[in-house]
Amino acid sequence: MTATTSHPFETAGDRELVITRVYAAPRELVFKTWTEPQHVVRWWGPRGCTTTIQEMDVRPGGVWRYVMRTADGTDWTNRIRYREVVVPERLVYDHGSDVEDDPNGFHVITEFHDRGQQTEVVMRMQFASVEARDRAAGYAGANSTFDRLHELLDDLAVEFVVRREFAAPRELVYRAFTEADRLARWWGPKGFTMQTRRHDPRPGGIYHYSMRAADGHEMWGKMKYVELTPPERLVFVNSFADGEGNIIAPPFADDWPQEILHTITLTEQDGKTLVTLRGLPIHATPAQRATFLAGHASMQGGYGSSLDQLTELLATE
């Protein structure tokens, strides 16, 4: 668990502020949440803000540029220039806006200390003046930012990940994930026949489908699309459903989560496509999260069977 305090900062010297947090996660994983874009965008910034990365080059001399949008729609441009990167122990960088010699910029030293089953993060911020330090000390968003990191680490502890490389161009693989006629030929358990009831591939749209076993037993499922960025990324919430598209409890385990957030990324290299599928339970109870974690091995088999069918489909095209 995170060591939370009512006020996030401690003063150290005339121009320095220090934040210390402890996370129940291995140091390597905590370091990745600070340095890998897919993790950073899920926690960086106060609650209610979103972070859009323009570039992120985590190495000495590298630059990270991003835009933070507040809840009221205001955009703030930021630039971080890395001075030192020691994996997984230490990050040193200068943080400011995208203006040279930003008077509000500050120097940061963040250290990741291995504490057995936990990781202690110590972040030291050094400012140009006492006045700049005091303005930062009044910042109300630091606690919620580090709380969001804690929530992300909780999620990553139960996240399911499967990767598969396909000998096909990325555009074709993306179409196999987003076109109903192709989806029906591979998505779902091996031996089941799929039929589409409704398909609306846009944010907020759904894919409502049935799965019929050889003995005639029928189940229904539903994807609710969250994000479609062709041909790179697809995000949707998957659940069991009834014939009308209403979410229902899974038919095989009382404590299985009803909704699973899927994030699928596609990376092309030398004419091949690497697909990374991540599954994460949402709106789940602690018991459901534990059941999901315990089911990772069987999920590897189930998703592996479906991806085998996708391999066969792509071979025909």
Q: Classify residue 315 as exposed, middle or buried by CB count within 10 Å of its CB (0-12, 13-18, 19+).
A: exposed
Residue pLDDT, tens place only, 224-252: 999 999 999 999 999 999 999 999 999 88
- pLDDT for 11: 63
- pLDDT for 81: 96
**Pair 170, 268: CB distance under 8 Å:** yes
In which residue ranges of the chain is pLDDT below 70? 1-9, 11-13, 99-100, 140
- pLDDT for 6: 39
Q: Give the separation between CA 55 and CA 132, rounded to whole angstroms.
A: 27
Q: Give the separation between CA 233 and CA 174, rounded to whole angstroms.
A: 8
pTM for the model stands at 0.71
**Pair 50, 68: CB distance under 8 Å:** yes
Domains and CATH numbers, the chain: 10-156 (3.30.530.20), 160-316 (3.30.530.20)
Please choose, from the candidates 314, 311, 278, 309, the residue with its C-alpha nearest in 3D space to the C-alpha of residue 192: 309
- pLDDT for 168: 97
- pLDDT for 123: 96
- pLDDT for 170: 97
